[in-house]
Structures are given as C-alpha cells and as structure tokens.
Amino acid sequence: MSADGRHGLTIIAFVGSVFSPWYAWSGRGAPENHCALNVAFYGPDCQRWTMTERPAGQVEREARHIQIGPSSLSWDGGDLIIRIDEITAPVPPMPTIPKPLRGTVRVRPHAINGTAFPLDAAGKHVWRPIAPRAHVEVTLDDPGLSWTGEGYLDTNGGTEPLEDAFEVWDWSRAHLKSDSAVLYDLKRKDGSALSLALKFDRHGVPETVEPPPHAALPATLWRMPRHTRADADRPVSVERTWEDTPFYSRSTIRTHLLGEACEGVHESLSLGRLRSPLVRAMLPFRMPRSLRL
C-alpha cells in the first residue's frame, strides 16, 4: 500500500501456477512449464492486472534470481528487485484493450524471518512470512506513477494442488506501531482446521499468540464469504475490496489487533469454488498462456 493509501500493488511469482487452468489440465507434472508473474495494480486513476503464463523455455532460475518471460525478480544485497514488463488482461469494468505494465519495484525488508509454518499435518504445504514488514519503492514507467509505502513478503510451497488439501482460507496482515500481526485461518478438506495468530517484532522474530475472536465481514459482489479475527468487541470494516472474483477476494480492512487500531490487508480463498468446472472455464481469459516456447 502507498503511504497515502491511494494505491495498492500485489505481485506473486508462480512456479507451477496454482490457479492456472492450463496447469490443472496438464496434470501438473511439470511446474516449470507453467510459470507466471501476477501483478495487480490498484488505484483511483489506474487499475491493471496481468498474469500471463510462460512455458519452461521462457523461465530461468538461479538461487537469487528468477526470470519469467520479460519480467524478473532478483536479490540485490538485502533488497528484492522486481522488474515488470507485462501486458495486461481485461479487468471489468475497465476497457478490454490490453495495456503494458512496466516498471521496477524495490522491496527492502526491515527484518528477515527464518521460520516456516506447515499448513497441513503431513507437511505438504508450507508457508513462510519472509519479511512481515518492508519498505517498498514503486517506479512504474507505464503507467507513469511512483510512490513508496510499506509492504509484506512471503512464500508458499506445496507438493500437491491446493484444492486437494483445503476448502477455504482467510489470511490477513497488519502493521502495528512497532510490531506486525499475521492471521491465517484454514479449513482443510478432511474437515480439520488451523488457526495461526503471529506477532513479529522489529527484528522479524515470530511469537505465537492466542487467536482473537472471529469477526464477520460482508460477502463480496460474487457472494464470496469472508471473515477475519479481531480484538473482542472491536469494530471491523472493509475499507475497499481490491479484488473480487468467483473464488478469491482481496481487501483493505480497518481492524483492531493486539490492543491497537490498525489497517490490514485481507484475502479470502475458496478452493471449493476453484474446483468448479465453470470457474476453470472462465480463468483462461484472466490467465492467458504465452504461445512462444
């Protein structure tokens, strides 16, 4: 989020694009043949969204660098440099003409967390919040915008499809005065559940705390149910829904955690909806696959 709250940016690098219909239809046998850089840029004067899937011939991976088509992510010392060179997919109600999205994002973690958390009993799915808090510098050439703000960096890895293990999850993170809070609520396909409530200090050290009570959030226009957790008897509201799809939503919320009023970023994901053949048939329009090998 930009410091003035007007713009938001989410970037996800996929090796084996978990939401890709092409990857699902292929049998998921070759994850490096289904890579993508998903960039979602939000703001009052511009909204652009891209997630072009690339085959293995357009992907290069090293320990501190990954190239996905014309875009890349590289560690430069302690900073993560993300270079974006993509063409957008249509985002209703915006015009359907594809547009470029080009620029550089520098992510400077305040601290690095080295602890990873398994999300299932077998350890097939692991999540690590690498930098619970980071300074972010955004310089976009197209559209011509620049801003700074605070962000967050994490990674998820798994050895089976998400929809084979989970039904729904709600995740959120919030920056407090000196700490950061991250909440993870999962309902697994086998009926079990996991609730993680973590507080990270300024050194990135995690502390597990008692999960706050559930707090209901209004459903999205696609009727996606969503909830979060907040301090007891404290109001929670959705400030803006940035992403509203049949199976996923991303929002900014006003909430109260660990005794502090704060703003958070929240997401809800329905894997049951993702399994729907109708939803799978809709996804190629938002996730085109490059024809160049």
* Mean pLDDT of successive 10-residue stretches along the chain, which has 293 residues: 94 96 94 97 89 97 97 97 93 70 97 96 96 97 95 96 95 96 96 96 96 96 95 96 95 97 97 94 91 82
In order of 4, 111, 139, 193, 276, the CA distances from 187 in angstroms are 35, 30, 38, 5, 18
The beta-carbon contacts of 217-224 under 8 Å, at least 24 apart in sequence, are 217/251, 217/253, 217/266, 220/244, 220/249, 222/246, 222/249, 224/248, 224/249, 224/268, 224/270, 224/273
DSSP sequence for 243-280: EE-SSEEEEEEEEEETTEEEEEEEEEEEHHHHT-HHHH
Q: For residue 156, is it within any domain? A: yes
CB 165 within 8 A of CB 172: no
- Cα–Cα distance between 230 and 257 in angstroms, integer? 5
In DSSP terms, 173 is beta-bridged to: 182, 265
- What is the structure's pLDDT at 116? 97
| Residue 134 Ramachandran class (φ > 0 left, ψ -120 to 50 alpha, else beta) | beta
Q: For residue 2, is it within any domain? A: no
Q: For residue 114, is it within any domain? A: yes
| Phi and psi angles of residue 281, each rounded to the nearest 5 degrees, phi first | -70, -25
Q: For residue 290, is it within any domain? A: no
Beta carbons within 10 angstroms of residue 136's beta carbon: 22
Q: For residue 291, is it within any domain? A: no
What is the SS3 assignment for 161? coil
Number of structural domains in the chain: 1
In order of 97, 276, 291, the CA distances from 33 in angstroms are 27, 23, 12
In DSSP terms, 263 is beta-bridged to: 254
The CA-CA-CA angle for residues 159, 164, 168, to 5°, reads 110
- Cα–Cα distance between 222 and 240 in angstroms, integer? 15
Q: For residue 292, is it within any domain? A: no
Q: For residue 293, is it within any domain? A: no
Domain that holds residue 261: 8-285
The b/e string for 63-89 (b: 16+ C-beta within 10 A; e otherwise) is eeebbbbebbbeeeeeebbbebbbebb
Q: For residue 250, is it within any domain? A: yes
CB 105 within 8 A of CB 94: no
Please, where are the H alpha helices in 81-240? 162-165
- What is the structure's pLDDT at 91? 62
